[in-house]
Structure 1
Amino acid sequence: MDSIEKKAIYHLKVAIKNDPQHLPSIVKLCEILVKKKSFSEAQMIITNALSNTSNVSSFYFLQAKLYFETQNYEEAIVFIDKAIQCDSNEVRFYKLAHKTLVQSRKENQAIPYLEKLVDLCPLDGESHYSLSQLLNDETEIRRKILLLEISIELLPNDIKPIIDLARIYMEQTTGNDHEGDSISKTNLQKAEKLFDSATKIKSSSGVPWYYLGKLNHSRKQIKIASTNFRKAHRYKETKGKSAYQLAIINLHYKKPAEAEKYFLEALSLDVKKSNCLLHIAEICSQRKEYKRAVKHLKTASEIVVLEEQHEYTISNLYCEASNFFLARKHLKNAFKKKKLRSKLIIRNYQINKLLKIHQKEEEILTAAIKLNPDYFESYFELGLHFIKENRIEDAQRMFTKACHNNWEHCESHFELGKIECNLKNTSKAKMHFKIVLDLENNHSEAIRMIEKIA
């Protein structure tokens, strides 16, 4: 093979010597040299060609390709733009521009190139789909939907645009204050229909089954969701994600052993590792396997720091590339990991408290609050600590914050009721005990306290 390659290089060099502007020979020779990683020699040939040619755009493009292969993406874009200035209707220029910007994490800057590509190739479904991926502003949602609809028509055997369009309809419903309204129902029906069509187009993919599971879970149709996730669980691409969702569903049905099995599977497939370990620790704690729970929490605490740092790193890389949409997305993920660190601290604290292990309680709980000021349990636990210390005003303040962050945490209301009762504020005490009964109508202690006040 080497001897054939050497002969090819020799004959191509002879051809170029006889005609320094012979583009096919120059292109082929450069492709061989790039493959052999003889970049400097390829660069010399392109430089000579550029100084002796009238066909400038093709050689600018060749120079851009060389820069792309050597991962010099900034210079690659410079020469693509030069090529476009010479010939603005050459499809391959725009395709290389998109490819280059994706590799350099600047895909958001590819929009004008893809818009031109769509104009030049109105039947190119991939270009329509790639452009739709970059329209992430809320004001662009109609255009994004239109591009995805065109992609679906032009790429009838590709489920990616179908899944993306269905997800848009599903996300327009998620978090809606009027989830029961006709628009939300229509959007979910559209999404469901699209996901169903995707299962028929590509029966070897678990992705549409996974999203059907998410959709039915959002409808609180847990049994149907479970069936969907089990179907997604058959496929490698969605096995880990589906295992995690099946674990959550088994927790909902109070089947901790089954849930643990799925969490361990998701963990082994690197899906939500720190979350899986937290849930497994909570299951162990319910069984009073406290040492095992502490062990899992320790591992989770180590992993979550790495996960958080990874998200910050990726966010910074996208930020440096001025890709602010993806930079924000990864920064948001980093903050979620930071909040999870707070929850892990609290769970570890609670188990150590059960084991009667000495802890620097105020210091630990304050650290948890600092990581996540919105997590109610940190304030509740600190309030209990202040009660022990006889710091009633501080305790009252902590329980109030716990209620503010989670109104439905009846134990915080109950503790506030007890404080108000001890302070002889019977009306306020009664109010809090009634709130407890609103949340849990068979709360025996609240009933007893109301009777005591009466």
Structure 2
Amino acid sequence: MKSKNQLAIEAMQEGKAEEAAKLFQEAIEEDPQDPILYVNFGNLLAGLKDHKRALKFFNRALELDETVATAYYGAANVYYELENYQEAQLHYQKAIDQGLVSSDVYYMQGLTLLSLEQPKLALPFMQRAVELNESDIEARFQYGMCLASQQLLDEAKDQFERVVEDNSSHADALYNLGVTYVYKNKISQAKEMFTRAIEAQSDHQLALHALSLMENK
């Protein structure tokens, strides 16, 4: 027989938010000391954009057990959505410190640090995100951007090439690959990448501007 927590999770996955909320509430009434129930209810509320209540549930889980990594992660996601990047960064780090090992938590910590304009600090988190999930194209792209920000252009070029291999119409990766060719003075390759970026996204202003500058020389 499935527990109310399991039934609630299934209802949540099926988009039955009201039913899931009712089941989570009942599960908590039956076992108010189980922090995971509060985390799960918090995740439901966060998905419904009820940020204030979601944070209350995540905080309650942490009051019961301050080592629950998923509670820190859930709270961090809420803070990120609210653009409170300082709190998001602190909570993602706590989730990692408590042993949460997933590509998502490292990727989100990297994004948060980028939002705080700290690409050097973001770099190792993006690298770890890619190591944990090599098929995550966006994590790989952001890893490439972090490398480029530190003038590690050969390494950045490798990452942008991998992104384009997986998604030939990734306009931003094509554009940034073009930029690395400009730095290497490989102008014909740069033009090709800028052109491909525009073909993938006709209003890509950076690629349009770069190509215009090159053609007017």
- TM category (shorter chain) comes to 0.7 to 0.9
CA contact (8 A) 2:120 2:150 kept: no
SS in 2 for 1:122: coil
Partner residue in 1 for 2:131: 119
CA contact (8 A) 1:170 1:215 kept: no
SS in 2 for 1:156: coil
How many Å separate the matches in 2 of 1:196 and 1:71? 34
Instruction: Please list, as runs of the form range in 1=range in 2, the aligned pairs for 1:26-425 lying within 5 A after superposition.
Output: 26-32=42-48, 35-37=49-51, 39=52, 41-53=53-65, 56-135=68-147, 136-138=149-151, 140-173=152-185, 187-200=186-199, 202=200, 204-205=202-203, 207=205, 208-218=207-217
Identity within the alignment, %: 20
How many Å separate the matches in 2 of 1:212 and 1:129? 21
- Which residue identity is paired with 1:57? A
How many Å separate the matches in 2 of 1:215 and 1:126? 28
If you compute each CA radius of gyration, which structure gives the higher value, 1 or 2? 1
Residues 1:66 and 1:126: Cα distance change in structure 2 (over 3 Å) = closer
Displacement of 1:143 in angstroms is 0.8
Deviations 1:118-151 (A, max 9, x none): 111112221121111122234x121111111111
How many Å separate the matches in 1 of 2:132 and 2:140? 11
List gaps (5 residues or longer) in structure 2: 1-15
- Which residue identity is paired with 1:131? Y
Residues 1:142 and 1:17: Cα distance change in structure 2 (over 3 Å) = same
- Which residue identity is paired with 1:146? D
- Which residue identity is paired with 1:28? L
What is the count of residue pairs matched by the alignment? 196
Q: Which has the higher contact order (CA 8 A, sep 6+)?
A: 2
CA contact (8 A) 1:192 1:212 kept: yes
Q: Which of residues 8, 20, 24 is equivalent to 2:40?
A: 24
Deviations 1:197-236 (A, max 9, x none): 3344x26335444432211223xxxxxxxxxxxxxxxxxx
How many Å separate the matches in 2 of 1:209 and 1:105? 26
Residues 1:13 and 1:31: Cα distance change in structure 2 (over 3 Å) = farther
SS in 1 for 2:117: coil
Displacement of 1:10 in angstroms is 4.8
List gaps (5 residues or longer) in structure 1: 174-186, 219-454
Residues 1:213 and 1:164: Cα distance change in structure 2 (over 3 Å) = same
Displacement of 1:88 in angstroms is 4.7
SS in 2 for 1:128: helix
Displacement of 1:5 in angstroms is 7.2
CA contact (8 A) 1:124 1:154 kept: no
CA contact (8 A) 1:68 1:100 kept: yes
TM-score (normalizing by structure 1): 0.39
RMSD: 2.8
CA contact (8 A) 1:13 1:29 kept: no
Displacement of 1:62 in angstroms is 1.5
How many Å separate the matches in 2 of 1:107 and 1:13? 41
Displacement of 1:46 in angstroms is 1.9
Partner residue in 2 for 1:269: none
